[in-house]
Structure 1
């Protein structure tokens, strides 16, 4: 069974405030003929602009007393159930209807078939495959162009013709319409999306040998994975050609997903991940107070760091970050260990240093600016736990920081109480430590207040 559908809208894509469906027509087709029909105007609950009135001739007055989408949603579900969703440029109609359902909290899913793609396969060589041009070239008259029923009826007549052409074609006559249009990537997409939940976590794309080729994270793994299949990037398309399976870990918490993704990318080094793959850190920016009490910074080899603020995988990146701090906070080159001790720094000569090196700035004033960097790149306390939402309503997540560094995460029941830091620490799944995970966590903590327990 097929549900041939056309919609009219007041926007190019779904938007609750200005892009909704204004008319829908559903023709149920049994493969031989249309056996049922439903058509109605819809009140979009937003203004229809003059532009879209000009296209469809559907005015605000016409839809004022029409049913709203939620009032016909059940009818749409019932009429399209166990049917292939057919439309001319099916992505537009299907995604619009799917988004309308999503706004109601319902996940609408149907197998789809596009008469544009089917026409290209069965009627190759046409100048245009728009519904108007295609129907005109095939002597299919459209009564009511850019109205849902008129376009749906024309699509149904085109569909009938395509079925005849398919049945007369020796290559396709023994195949179903959906089978003709199904590519390998369509099957993979369906398989992948059926496995992934609409929840927060980390997902792993695998090739045929079971090797991890890409790791990603999202607050909605299903939606994020779906976006991969719409890529126009050459590398993205190559990844899809290698894609064979998917695995995932639900985290509940977005920050746990971020931390886990970063660790897993370094551990597995997937072929198609571009960022965060380096796991060897060579240089660090250390901080200390000199004998006068001035907050100072210096670049050191990572393994020699004593009070590391941030680490990098090469010297150049480390130097660039320190120079950006000098520029942003008007720091002195001498107290960033970039000029010889006891000399006036070059920046003082060109008025980019306030003169701490020449005794012209109070230490307290200089330290206020330097302290801002310490606050940005340090945790407020060396040992603490962050409480986040878990994977279920009856579960909380826990992120542990020990000795000023990210240590790992765990989960516990919302009814659990703890009497010691050892109990909290015992819940944690320990993570491999990489310096950049501290930065991920610090950046996330700065965005909003979190429930924190000092240990």
Structure 2
């Protein structure tokens, strides 16, 4: 019995935009020589089609009102694509939209994929744009009914036939379809050589669009693994990010700590559109101390504006409470007098069991205050001069983080062969940075959690 011939299903979908519910689908089944079968249908998305989508596609709510919902055509879509290779222009978009529709009706949809954008970049290099419209103009392909599923799918069929006819198509197609190939996973505009150049070490990475603008900054202990994770993530924001990504730059850091500091600085400098959380201006909170009428030392927190003589400043109330919990536990204080429990006679914190009984008169105020004052002094003096030592970007290098007079000054990299006698010697290698509330939180947590901070620092 002979080997069955490879078939391809060339597909295009139109959607509602936000939410990506299908409004139209067109599928052409192809045997590598000719079209064998076609399936095209409008689809009722069960949601309103925005005006800007109607302006783009011509599909409005009235047109789809009597159309079948996806569940009613799912069997037909599943059948025509079964045992075929899924082909589309920017394949990850169409594939993920369709797979998500199947997931909604508890059906698993998995097909091997080929992307005509990525194939065109390899087999027909040199074009300024690989969008379907511009590619069709460059290659004299008729494109009728642009932004309608059948028109775009039919043009993609013609493009696919030109790709199949290329003298190197057999080798390139085979490489793209290999089990370990990332070609069907990477964003359509991203050359595979760019991804291949990303190392496995710690650092930060920059996603850039076709114009070279930075649209996202991230950090990772393993850069290649983290970047690839974006391309497997099916959340709408990630799909939008990947569709826009045309280039990725990176910087090695040597360690996770330096990567976090580098990431914060890069986000604050570039304010990329997909780093939305970094654009929010945090409301500062602070920890302070006071003595009550019984002479008991309290640790409390409030907004920075309402805090007298702040001991530590935070950019969220959550971080403030977490820090106080850590201090309370480390110095065996009472959660009630650290204001982690309000309106209680005696403490009964769900997590902290360090209290020695001052709230139950089982410990003297003097004994309790001794530890409370140690905690206050610790917080007041924790912002001292420190030089934190980290791994460098290669074996012959070390990284450092400089805190001077309680202020974070930046990080740097220095060869191990350099003779470092004092802080001034290190400052020659410093990459100056601004202190932010996020940086304060990163460094404060590190210093508080380290039981032996001196092991982290240079000794002069």
Q: TM-score, normalised by structure 1?
A: 0.52
Distance 1:433 1:413 in 2: 25
Rounded Cα–Cα distance in structure 2 between residues aligned with 1:434 and 1:288: 27
Displacement of 1:331: 2.9
Are the structure 2 counterparts of residues 396 and 170 from structure 1 closer, same or farther at C-alpha, using a change threshold of 3 Å?
closer
* Compared CA separation, residues 350 and 194, structure 1 to 2 (3 A): closer
CA contact (8 A) 1:204 1:212 kept: yes
Match of 2:160 in 1: 172
| Rounded Cα–Cα distance in structure 2 between residues aligned with 1:118 and 1:440 | 57
Separation (CA, whole Å) in 2 of partners of 1:305 and 1:453: 34
How has the CA–CA distance of structure 1 residues 201 and 289 changed in structure 2, closer, same or farther, with 3 Å as cutoff?
farther
> In structure 2, what is the equivalent of residue 452 of structure 1?
457
Cα distance change on mapping 1:221 and 1:326 into 2, 3 Å: closer
Secondary structure in 2 matching 1:361:
coil
Determine the structure 2 residue equivalent to 1:347: 344
Q: What residue is the counterpart of 1:428 in the other structure?
A: 430
- Figure out how many residues of one structure are paired with residues of the other and give that number: 297
- Residues 277 and 191 (structure 1), Cα distance of their counterparts in 2 relative to 1, 3 Å cut: farther
Counterpart selection for 2:222 from 201, 220, 223: 220
Match of 1:395 in 2: 397
Alpha carbon RMSD of aligned pairs, Å?
Answer: 4.7
Alignment of 1:373-384 (within 5 A): 382-384=384-386
- Is residue 312 of structure 2 the alignment partner of residue 309 of structure 1? yes
2:392–2:399 contact (8 Å) kept in structure 1 = yes
Q: Distance in 2 between matches of 1:376 and 1:191?
A: 51
What is the CA–CA distance in structure 1 between the aligned matches of 2:347 and 2:388, rounded to whole Å?
45
TM-superposed CA distance for 1:383, in Å, is: 0.9
Deviations 1:303-359 (A, max 9, x none): 66644334124xx54675588679977736466499xxxxxx731168678764685
Give the match for residue 334 of structure 2. Answer: 331
1:188 is matched with 190
CA 1:287–1:318 in structure 2 vs 1: closer, same or farther (change >3 Å)? farther
Q: Aligned pair in 2 of structure 1 residues 416, 236: CA closer, same or farther (>3 Å)?
A: same
**Does the CA-based 8 Å contact 2:328-2:338 persist in structure 1?**
no
Distance 1:378 1:406, change over 3 A: farther
Deviation at 1:417? 1.8
Q: 1:268 Cα shift?
A: 3.2
For 1:55-454, list aligned pairs within 5 A.
125-126=79-80, 128-129=82-83, 172-176=160-164, 177=169, 178=172, 185-188=187-190, 190-273=192-275, 275-287=277-289, 294-302=296-304, 306-313=309-316, 317=318, 321=322, 331=334, 333=336, 336=339, 346-348=343-345, 356=358, 360-363=362-365, 366-367=368-369, 382-444=384-446, 446=449, 450-453=455-458
Structure 2 Cα separation of the partners of residues 368 and 211 of structure 1? 56
Residue 346 of structure 1 aligns to a residue whose secondary structure is: coil
In structure 2, relative to structure 1, the CA distance for the partners of 1:192 and 1:309 (3 Å cut) is same
CA deviation digits over 1:407-435, x for unaligned, max 9? Answer: 21111121122233222234322211113
8 Å Cα contact 1:297-1:335 kept in structure 2 = yes
Q: Which runs of 5+ in 1 are unaligned?
A: 1-85, 89-115, 132-154, 156-168, 339-344
Give the whole-Å Cα distance in 2 for the aligned partners of 1:378 and 1:246.
Answer: 42
Q: In structure 2, do the counterparts of structure 1 residues 202 and 378 end up closer, same or farther at CA, with 3 Å as the change threshold?
A: farther
Q: Is the 8 A contact 1:219 1:254 kept in 2?
A: yes
Separation in 2 of the partners of 1:326 and 1:199? 34
CA contact (8 A) 2:194 2:248 kept: yes
Q: Are 1:297 and 1:337, in contact at CA under 8 Å, matched by a contact in 2? A: no
Over 3 Å counting, the alpha-carbon distance change for 1:193 and 1:368 in structure 2 is: farther
SS in structure 2 at match of 1:203: strand
Q: CA deviation at 1:214?
A: 1.2
Superposition map of 1:3-42 within 5 A:
none
Asked whether the 8 Å contact 2:284–2:313 carries over to 1, the reply is: no
